[in-house]
A and B are shown apart, each in its own frame.
Chain A
Amino acid sequence: MSPIAVGALKVFAAIGLMLGNGVVLIYMLRKVLGRLHLRHGPMEMGPAGMFQTLMDVVKLLTKEDITPRAVDKWLFRLAPLMVFVPSLMAYAALPYSDSWRITSLDSGLLYTFAVLSLVPIGILMAGWASANKWSLLGGMRAAAQQIAYEVPLLLSVLPIVMLVGSANLGTIVEAQQGTFLAVLPRWFIMNPLFWPTFVLYVIASLVESNQTPFDMSEGESEIVAGFATEYSAMKFGLLFLSEFSNGFIVSALGVALFFGGWSLPWIPASWYAAAPIIGPAIFIIKTYIGIFFMMWIRGTFPRVRIDQMMQLGWMRLIPISLAWIVFSGIVIKVWS
């Protein structure tokens, strides 16, 4: 097959994964939040409400698409595009397994952060074009918080790149193979040098993907639905699909950086060759476990104030991550 046909198939696979994630994650969110609130969550559509999100997709497709009179028409239509395309592109560099990759970029980690940082432009565009005060506030907050935490996010994972000597996500996962003390996996989360890195990464990635307790951009009890207030039907659907997809991306990055990606140390290497599906399956399951923790946080923590969040980012996380880069640089050099 020509490289273009192969590439197109890969892109459709990524779209399929993104849509599948959207459907599964929304159902999972409702169920998990429901359980945390001592409710059942959706129960009517199919066994245990399993088809609820599928019916929601049908509803979004057949709903009237309202474009309010006051909006800036072109920016209003362009914004879902500007939010959706970068989220989709973020699937390109993830290491699903040693043989299943969409691309194997040497700058994969930097690339993923780069495309994710395009999302706030789309959100700001949506907020501005809606000609609505709630939307404008939400869009501005989203842009402010995502650019504030962009820097600590990039800085926080730098020690891992320094140790591995590559920003290729596949190489980073390969560096975490094997075990020590016979049973413990050689994941980076087991290395005390990366514990502060992990804490910084979790905080910064929750902000980057607009997760509670940092979801001021769409805080429904303050500013209705934030940047999405004036959107309806499929445009709204696409905005929120990207939202859930970004949650998946940061969780998948966390799995690749700290939890050994597609590998489980107790599975012999020959199994991966015999059944190539094992690697991606382990990767997706680990990612979903990460997302479960994000939902747990969402169900239990109150939303922080915007001034608290901005000052935490600039006055705490950036100095700490800079200091940690220096410290781990010295430790790595002394070690080797």
Chain B
Amino acid sequence: MVQSVTADHIVLGLFVVIGLIFVPLTVTASHLLAPSKPNPRKLDTYECGSEPVGPPWVQLRVGYYVYALLFVVFDIETVFLYPWAVAFDRMGVFVLVEMLVFITILAAGLAYAWKEGALRWR
């Protein structure tokens, strides 16, 4: 068991390494094959043919930020549910009750965010 786990982890490491090599390699290959004739017009920012107005990094609505904060909370709590689900059929009814409490707290948090209007896209 331990043996197979380490072999699998080597494979995952190789995925990262080879992926990190593969991308620059293809991009470099395309650079070697492709022509390169830049001119000022070509290097302009493409906004449907008109000159860009104002800075590109505009301010965005605050809704994105609120959702990101909510996501951090809920995603971490979701990850906590996975070990519980794996062990679920091996443990008694008590585990179910414990998780009911956990999910109730989660749902209460969601209900609070809902009441405060954080879930509404503004």
Interface residues of A, Cβ cutoff 8 Å to B: 3-4, 6-8, 10-12, 14-15, 60-70, 77, 80-81, 84-85, 88-89, 92, 102-105, 107, 110, 128, 130-134, 136-137, 140, 143-144, 147-148, 150-151, 154-155, 158, 161-163, 165-167, 224, 229-230, 233-235, 237-238, 306-307, 310-311, 314-315, 318-319, 322, 325-326, 329-330, 332-333, 336
Contacts and interface: CB of A to CB of B under 8 A. Distances in A.
B2 interface: no
Interface in B6-25: 7-8, 10-16, 18-20, 22-24
Interface of chain A, main secondary structure: helix
B23 A81 contact: yes
Interface residues of B, number: 70
A50 to B, nearest CB: 23
B12 A165 contact: no
Top 4 A-B pairs ranked by shortest CB distance? Answer: A234-B30, A307-B121, A85-B19, A103-B8
B85 A314 contact: no
Nearest to B77: A151
A235 B57 CA distance: 22
Interface of B: 4, 7-8, 10-16, 18-20, 22-24, 26-27, 29-31, 33-38, 40, 42-48, 52, 56-58, 60, 63-64, 67-68, 70-71, 74-75, 78-79, 81-82, 85-90, 93, 96, 99-100, 103, 106-107, 110, 114, 119-121
14 contacts: A3-B7, A4-B14, A15-B18, A63-B30, A103-B8, A104-B8, A107-B82, A133-B47, A140-B64, A154-B78, A167-B85, A224-B46, A238-B26, A332-B88
A160 to B, nearest CB: 9
A330 B96 contact: yes
